[in-house]
Amino acid sequence: MTAPHPIQQRLLTTSEQEKLASRTGARRTVYYTKQVSKDAGGEFARTQQYLGEWKDNQWHGKGTLEKADGERYVGDWVEGQRHGAGTLWKRKPDGTLRKIYWGQWQNNLQSGRGQINYEDSSDVYVGEWQQGQRSGVGICTYGDGGVYEGEWLHDKRHGFGVFDYKSGDHFEGLWVEDKKEGKGVHFYYHAEKRAHTKRYDGEWVDDVPKCGAYT
């Protein structure tokens, strides 16, 4: 009877194979790819890569995800979603990274308090978020020089807020879906005198003053 070869090893059971394949804890970079050519032996392209902690085969803990277009998230993960504190970066045409958002996340959306630098308008918002939208209290500095500080709802100015215009004018009052609506006071700035020399107290409807008095 022939004895088994000394280096011969038994086959792994299904449960043992799953245990070896399971990703839990800190791991080195894992690369994700897709086939870009349907031909046999066709080329593959990298779609994203992840470096960080895992739990039950999902991103969980501290980690960094970088996509093929250069977008990068560094922060907390829970069950494969951005959840906790984290920073989102995007790559500019010159190859450098631009910080887009940093703050709190919940289920892959901005939730809690955070700051965003908008790419298309140069606006900057610092404040509260709910499900990826500006909601709560926050300050937005607009690219044209205006500044709004007050309440937000569903990504729009909504509630009581104060707006400082680039011209020096100043408004305090109520807003509904990004427009002045209800009672408010508008102070007019005199550039030569460097002071507010006139004010309007009244009611606004659809962003237009309708009934009030100048002093």
**pLDDT score of 190 more than 70:** yes
Looking at CATH, the fold of the domain delimited by 57-214 is given as 2.20.110
pLDDT number for residue 13: 61
% the chain with pLDDT above 90: 71
**pLDDT score of 73 more than 50:** yes
Q: Is 94 helix (H, G, I), strand (E, B) or coil?
A: coil
Instruction: Point out the least confidently predicted range of 36-45, 70-79, 95-104, 109-118.
Output: 36-45
Instruction: Give every CB contact of residue 80 below 8 A, 6+ residues apart in sequence.
Output: 58, 59, 60
pLDDT number for residue 44: 83
Tell me which residue has tokens 């951005």: 82
**pLDDT score of 205 more than 90:** yes
Enumerate the β-bridge partners of residue 87.
Answer: 74, 102
pLDDT number for residue 15: 56
Spatial distance between the Cα atoms of 53 and 80, rounded to a whole number of angstroms: 10
Q: What is the DSSP string of 117-137?
A: E-TTT--EEEEEEETTEEEEE
Instruction: Point out the least confidently predicted range of 29-38, 43-52, 138-147.
Output: 29-38
Q: How confident is the model at residue 136 (pLDDT cuts 50, 70, 90)?
A: very high
pLDDT number for residue 142: 97
**pLDDT score of 129 more than 60:** yes
Q: What is the DSSP letter of 167?
A: T
Q: pLDDT digits over 88-118, tens only? A: 999 988 989 999 999 999 999 999 999 999 9
Q: Is 205 helix (H, G, I), strand (E, B) or coil?
A: strand
Specify the pTM. 0.83
Spatial distance between the Cα atoms of 178 and 133, rounded to a whole number of angstroms: 14
What sign does the CA torsion over 136, 142, 146, 147 have? Answer: positive
pLDDT number for residue 65: 97
- Find the mean pLDDT for residues 5-28: 61
Q: What is the DSSP letter of 14?
A: H
Residue 92 Ramachandran class (φ > 0 left, ψ -120 to 50 alpha, else beta)? beta
pLDDT number for residue 14: 54
Spatial distance between the Cα atoms of 106 and 109, rounded to a whole number of angstroms: 5
Q: Is 164 helix (H, G, I), strand (E, B) or coil?
A: strand
Angle at 144 between CA 142 and CA 145, to 5 degrees: 70
Phi first, then psi, for residue 114 (nearest 5°) are -170, 175
Spatial distance between the Cα atoms of 35 and 33, rounded to a whole number of angstroms: 7
Q: What is the CA radius of gyration of the chain?
A: 27
Q: How confident is the model at residue 7 (pLDDT cuts 50, 70, 90)?
A: very low
Closest of 211, 192, 191 to residue 201, by C-alpha: 211
pLDDT number for residue 8: 46
Instruction: Point out the least confidently predicted range of 25-34, 49-58, 117-126, 192-201.
Output: 25-34
CA dihedral 192, 194, 198, 202 (to 10 degrees): 130
For the chain, which residues make up each domain, given as ranges?
A: 57-214
185's enclosing H/E stretch is strand 179-190
**pLDDT score of 61 more than 90:** yes
Q: How confident is the model at residue 3 (pLDDT cuts 50, 70, 90)?
A: low
